[in-house]
Amino acid sequence: MIGIDWGSTGLRVFLIGAQGSVLQTRSSQQGALQLRGSDAYARVLRELAGDWLDYRDHRGRSLPLLASGMVGSQHGWRTAPYVACPSNAGELAQSLMPIDDTAPWICPGLIVQTPGLPPDVMRGEETQIVGALELHPELAAAACLILPGTHSKWVNVQHAQILDFATHMTGELFAVLSRHSVLGFLIPAEPEPVRLSMAAFDKGVDTARDHHHSGLSHQLFSVRTLGLTGAMSADSLADYLSGLLIGHELLAGLAWRSEAGLDAAPLVLIGATELCAMYRQALTRLAAPVPLVLHNTAPHGLWKLATQAGLINTSISLAGQS
């Protein structure tokens, strides 16, 4: 099958074989924010994976296509309505949205609506979660999943269901503050070489940990004062800011985890290698449990959802590829 992970700023296309194994991967910077109209999505997908789209087996059947992420948003290829939590892989599979015979099916996002609280939503992460549970079935009983990113997600999984989740705008806050605020005046636009200053990052996490009662908005100004006074080099300020933001997210997330009754459940990081390493380091500074770290679970999630939806025909193969 062809699996598609189409986010706001980028696109990844996977040729997926038996049991969700990734045979080939292709990527593009043509994210959903850059595209308008169904024709634009169809054009970008064909430019990236036209040969996969054109494949036919001896019976004339094409490979099934399934997409997840912002491709299903209001500004995407076609809107795939949110599925309400609690939910599971079976319910998500039943809610896949078709476009037409030549376009991919689209995975729905998830919405959680807790009385007395604003709603929370996700698109794309649900597929990563399904993939993580497929790869590690032992997590289905109970687990707290952390998916770092532009909008980090903390997810409560129990009894193979996604019960609840909470979003933290950590990545977007970092981008806005470092580029479009007074803090950014002292932060190099493109620090070279791009290398994490672990000492500065740790200092940010430690500041969040030891002085969190003073508040994030107060501590953020220290990025400027440390630079102005020369107490920290300009090249280290971005890493200090990152540590501050991630530290505050983790403190709030770990409290949320306790309230959900997941203190004894596994803690799992799912995402890009470098970002997960930063979160793992920060968790160590907070004396939190050592997490299980998983990468690239989306293909297994797409495979699982396509299988449960009946999109996969195991008799279709491409040189041993399905």
Tens-digit pLDDT profile for residues 250-306: 999 999 999 999 999 999 999 999 999 999 999 999 999 999 999 999 999 999 999
**Average pLDDT for residues 82-90, to the nearest whole number?**
98
**Angstrom distance (rounded) from CA 51 to CA 117:** 47
Report the candidate in 127, 173, 180 with the shortest Cα–Cα distance to residue 149.
Answer: 173
CATH number of the domain that 219 lies in? 3.30.420.310
Q: Do 285 and 303 lie in a common domain?
A: no
Residue 81 in any domain: the answer is: yes
DSSP state at residue 33: G
Q: Do 113 and 215 lie in a common domain?
A: no
| Structural domain count of the chain | 2
Structure tokens at 51: 């040969």
Amino acid 310 reads: G
pLDDT tens column, 158-205: 999 999 999 999 999 999 999 999 999 999 987 555 568 999 999 999
In a 3-state reduction of DSSP, which class is residue 145? strand
Its domain, for residue 195, covers 170-290
Give the residue with greater pLDDT, 303 vs 314: 303
Q: Do 247 and 304 lie in a common domain?
A: no
**Angstrom distance (rounded) from CA 235 to CA 21:** 40
pLDDT tens column, 283-298: 999 999 999 999 999 9
Q: What is the pLDDT of residue 162?
A: 99
Q: How many CA atoms lie within 13 Å of 103's alpha carbon, on the beta-carbon side?
A: 19
CATH number of the domain that 82 lies in? 3.30.420.300
Cα distances (angstroms) measured from residue 130 to each of 113, 135, 154: 20, 9, 14
pTM of the model: 0.93
Q: Do 110 and 6 lie in a common domain?
A: yes
Q: Do 93 and 197 lie in a common domain?
A: no
Q: Do 176 and 286 lie in a common domain?
A: yes
pLDDT tens column, 116-174: 999 999 999 999 999 999 999 999 999 999 999 999 999 999 999 999 999 999 999 99
CB atoms within 10 A of CB 259: 11
**Percent of the chain beyond pLDDT 90?**
87
